[in-house]
């Protein structure tokens, strides 16, 4: 082969190889040995909070499962809209995932965003903390029936607190009242900066009821200052198995929980989703994760991608109906 022809052949061959490399790089993650580079886990809430702590323990354990660094990036603002938008708008290649929270079923009802749970590829539910019905230990209400009878007899007298106006725990008690054919306005809501101030206000006598989670009430229950009448869940709490579900207490199917789940942008290749889901399932079952969550007082629950999709759909519908009932839908 002449020298010039040989050079042309080599050049063409090099060009073909380079082109194939570019094509390979452009192929979706499903066509390669995913993951081949670091992964970003978006947290829609600030550093130091409960969702951030949960995201970081998941990231550290997910690294071990996938063999690539998983970095938590906090994208805060807009009452959760900024972070949830960042997850939804990322490339669906498996290299950006996020820790979605219960607010994804609330924000669109408030007119803050068009995003819903259906805007994502669900990977796995990793945490849920159902609301409880907490009263002071010396409260005259010994059962949920006692409490509801008092609400019916004296609308407006029994007050509740535990979060801001329209927050998850406000919606929890409003939903229960609505489920029992009681006007949610019958229990005025006193806004607070979270569960702890609401519980303290209840102990001090400022309010009568704190429908926050059992983990948030744990120290006060253990100290004998607070009594839980029921839990808004399908199953009893592992922390307090003797606290009845609403189903057992009053025959109600109403449930409500603050939750966190791993999601990815919509359109994620199925085999990448399956690999992530299998890894998240192992993380949720690990001793390290369960020990960490127990220490934080958070509930551990795992649901598969399909079950998480159904879970988000039900949560969204329940929240929307309740928010309409209390005048929070825009």
Answer for the pair 283, 293: CB distance below 8 angstroms, yes or no. Answer: no
Q: pLDDT tens-digit profile of 72-125?
A: 999 999 889 999 999 999 999 999 999 999 999 999 999 999 999 999 999 999
Domains along the sequence of the chain with CATH: 34-128+258-325 (3.40.190.150), 132-250 (3.40.190.10)
pLDDT given for residue 35 in this prediction: 97
111 Cβ contact partners less than 8 Å away, ≥ 6 residues apart: 330
Answer for the pair 163, 170: CB distance below 8 angstroms, yes or no. Answer: yes
Query: Looking at residues 135-157, what average pLDDT do you find?
Result: 98
Q: Band of the pLDDT at 140, cuts 50, 70, 90?
A: very high
pLDDT given for residue 9 in this prediction: 44
User: CA nearest 280: which of 315, 252, 307?
Assistant: 307
3-state secondary structure (DSSP) of residue 136:
strand
Q: Counting Cβ atoms within 10 Å, is residue 48 exposed (0-12), middle (13-18) or buried (19+)?
A: exposed
Q: pLDDT tens-digit profile of 306-319?
A: 999 999 999 999 99
3-state secondary structure (DSSP) of residue 190:
strand
Residue 140 — φ and ψ, nearest 5°? -70, -10
Q: Other C-beta atoms within 10 Å of 15: how many?
A: 10
CA distance 254 to 180: 9
Could you give the residue ranges of the DSSP H alpha helices within the chain?
3-26, 50-66, 81-89, 144-153, 168-179, 195-204, 214-222, 246-250, 270-285, 287-296, 305-325
Q: Band of the pLDDT at 12, cuts 50, 70, 90?
A: low
CA 72 remoteness from chain centre: 16
Rounded to 10 degrees, what is the CA torsion of 123, 239, 46, 73?
-30
CA distance 164 to 167: 5
pLDDT given for residue 193 in this prediction: 86
- In the numeric block, the tokens 């570019």 are attached to 22
User: Is 70 exceeded by the pLDDT of residue 189?
Assistant: yes
User: CA nearest 155: which of 177, 128, 123, 130?
Assistant: 177
Bridge-partner residues for 265, per DSSP?
120
Answer for the pair 256, 231: CB distance below 8 angstroms, yes or no. Answer: no
Give the 3-state secondary structure percentages of the chain, helix then strand then coil, rounded to 5.
50, 15, 35
User: CA nearest 168: which of 235, 42, 79?
Assistant: 79
User: CA nearest 85: which of 93, 77, 328?
Assistant: 77
Answer for the pair 81, 88: CB distance below 8 angstroms, yes or no. Answer: no
Query: Looking at residues 274-299, what average pLDDT do you find?
Result: 94
CA distance 328 to 65: 42
């Amino acid at each position: 082969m002449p020298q010039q022809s040989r050079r042309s052949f080599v050049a063409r061959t090099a060009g073909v190889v380079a082109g194939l490399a570019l094509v390979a790089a452009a192929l979706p993650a499903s066509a390669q040995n995913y993951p081949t580079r670091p992964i970003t886990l978006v947290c829609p809430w600030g550093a130091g909070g409960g969702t951030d702590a949960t995201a970081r323990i998941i990231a550290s354990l997910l690294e071990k499962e996938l063999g690539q660094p998983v970095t938590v990036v906090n994208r805060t603002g807009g009452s959760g809209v900024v972070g949830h938008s960042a997850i939804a708008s990322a490339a669906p290649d498996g290299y950006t995932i996020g820790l979605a929270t219960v607010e994804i079923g609330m924000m669109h009802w408030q007119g803050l965003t068009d995003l819903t749970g259906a805007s994502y590829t669900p990977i796995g539910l990793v945490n849920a903390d159902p609301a409880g019905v907490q009263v002071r230990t010396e409260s005259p209400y010994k059962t949920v029936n006692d409490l509801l009878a008092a609400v019916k007899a004296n609308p407006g007298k029994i007050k509740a607190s535990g979060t801001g106006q329209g927050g998850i725990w406000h919606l929890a008690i409003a939903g229960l009242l609505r489920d029992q054919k009681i006007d949610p306005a019958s229990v005025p809501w006193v806004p607070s900066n979270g569960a702890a101030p609401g519980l303290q206000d209840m102990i001090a006598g400022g309010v009568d009821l704190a429908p926050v989670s059992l983990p948030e009430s744990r120290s006060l229950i253990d100290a004998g200052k607070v009594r839980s009448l029921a839990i808004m869940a399908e199953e009893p709490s592992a922390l307090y198995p003797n606290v009845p579900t609403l189903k057992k207490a009053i025959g109600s199917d109403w449930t409500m929980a603050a939750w966190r789940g791993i999601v990815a942008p919509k359109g994620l290749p199925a085999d990448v989703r399956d690999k992530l889901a299998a890894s998240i399932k192992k993380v949720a079952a690990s001793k390290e994760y369960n020990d960490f969550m127990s220490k934080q007082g958070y509930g551990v629950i795992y649901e598969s991608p399909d079950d998480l999709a159904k879970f988000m759909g039900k949560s969204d519908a329940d929240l929307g109906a309740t928010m309409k009932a209390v005048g929070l839908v825009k």
